[in-house]
Homo-oligomer: A and B are copies of this chain.
Amino acid sequence: MNRVILYGFGYIGRMVAKEIVESGALEIIGAIDVDEKIVGKDVGEIIGIGKLGVKVSSEPEEVFEKAKPAIVIHATGSFLDKVFDQIVLAVEYGYHVVSTCETLAYPWLKYPNLADELSRRALERNVVVIGTGVNPGFIFDSLPAFLTSICSKVEKIKATRIIDPSRRRYSFQKKIGLGLTSDEFREKMAKGEITGHVGYAESLMLLSEMVGLDIANVIEDQEPIISHEYLETQYFKISPGKVKGIKGYGKGYGKDNKLKAEVEFIATVGVSDKDSIEIDCGKYVIKWSSNGVPGDYATVAMLLNVAKIVNNLKRGLRTMKDIVLLHA
């Protein structure tokens, strides 16, 4: 199955479209978005590669009615309650859904009822629903899990991701609060107007289930990083005393209150990108580190690579656990 509907044609949706056109391996047969500025326009023209013959529609039913068979690549939001109806509609029409929705990466944690309903509906319609991306989906969960393949047991896992947000899309820079005061940051976080990184706890639960860490309790938090100098990115001007980034963490504890896994995310202007994963196997500790993983590209690649195999997965509400078979 190589036909794709893009549900959400924002920054990520457009990057997905570009990759699909460049690779030639998949075909875009529909695009859905609510943004009035692009509704009715040709997908190819929006991404600057000339007419593709597929227009952005604001009516999902119309697209779903005509498009079968296809896979829905869904990139509209981070919180399952906000995007639940969109995903359910795709499922009801009989489409597999591969989504960037961060909380869908492990939906039983924060939305157990919605997860159960989605699971039931996906099974009824014989389709797969799965949440993935670079994070959740890779750096804090699938990759550490896969790296435990060469461990007979795992005492503790720590994963850290450090990125310079000035290389990321506008919506990413906005959601981590660049340029705000510390108070504005906290207020907007409390109201849900900005989110920081979403998925610390979901990654930990996913990792726990993959590797069998038996995490019973997770905590997560984020705080702003304040700049002492004037900085600017493509989209934000940051005065001294304003937010230049975010630092967040998640920690997962076993029933004995022992720390089993922790993840740390630092996105701050001017830092060198780096990911690191440390696995304590008891007899030895293995550390892997990267020179940085470009988040938006990586998320797009992950969506497409999961889309390529989604039809081989067991039907229902799935997670990366169903794809990453090898681990301790």
**In the assembled complex, how far is the CB of residue A136 from the closest CB belonging to chain B, in whole angstroms?**
13
Instruction: Output the least CB separation between A195 and chain B (Å).
Output: 22
Judged by a CB distance under 8 angstroms, whether A302 is at the interface is yes
Return A214 CB to nearest CB of chain B, in Å. 14
A306 is an interface residue with CB less than 8 A from chain B: yes
- Contact of A152 with B by CB under 8 A: yes
- A305 contacts which chain B residues (CB < 8 A)? 149-150, 152, 326-328
List the B side residues contacting A56 at CB < 8 Å. Answer: none
Q: Is A52 an interface residue (CB 8 A)?
A: no
Q: Does A247 contact B (CB under 8 A)?
A: no
The answer to whether B288 touches A152 (Cβ under 8 A) is no
Selecting from A101-109, A115-123, A172-180, A293-301, the interface stretch reads A293-301
CB of A323 within 8 A of chain B?
yes
B325 near A301 with CB under 8 A, answer no
**Is A291 part of the binding interface, using a Cβ–Cβ cutoff of 8 Å?**
yes
Q: Are A326 and B328 in contact (CB under 8 A)?
A: no
Contact of A309 with B293 in the complex, beta carbons under 8 Å: no
A153 at the interface (CB under 8 A from B): yes
Contact-residue bracket for chain A: 35 or more
Contact A326 B150 (CB under 8 A): no
Contact A150 B301, beta carbon cutoff 8 Å: yes
Q: Residue-by-residue, is A283-294 near B (CB-CB < 8 Å gives 1, otherwise 0)? A: 110111111111
Q: Cβ of A150: which chain B residues have Cβ within 8 Å of it?
A: 134, 138, 293, 297-298, 301-302, 305
Cα distance, A284 to B294, chains bound together (Å): 8
Which one of B19, B152, B325 lies within 8 Å of A19 (CB-CB)? Answer: B152
* Min C-beta distance of A19 to chain B, whole Å: 5
Bound together, the chains give a CA A328 to CA B303 distance in angstroms of 11
Bound-state CA distance A298–B279 (Å) is: 13
CA distance A312 to B326 in the complex (A): 12
> 7 nearest interchain CB pairs?
A150-B298, A152-B301, A287-B291, A19-B152, A288-B290, A150-B301, A323-B326
20 pairs, A vs B, C-beta closer than 8 Å: A22-B152, A134-B150, A142-B326, A146-B146, A149-B301, A150-B293, A150-B297, A150-B298, A150-B301, A150-B305, A152-B301, A283-B294, A283-B297, A286-B292, A287-B291, A288-B289, A288-B290, A301-B328, A323-B325, A323-B326
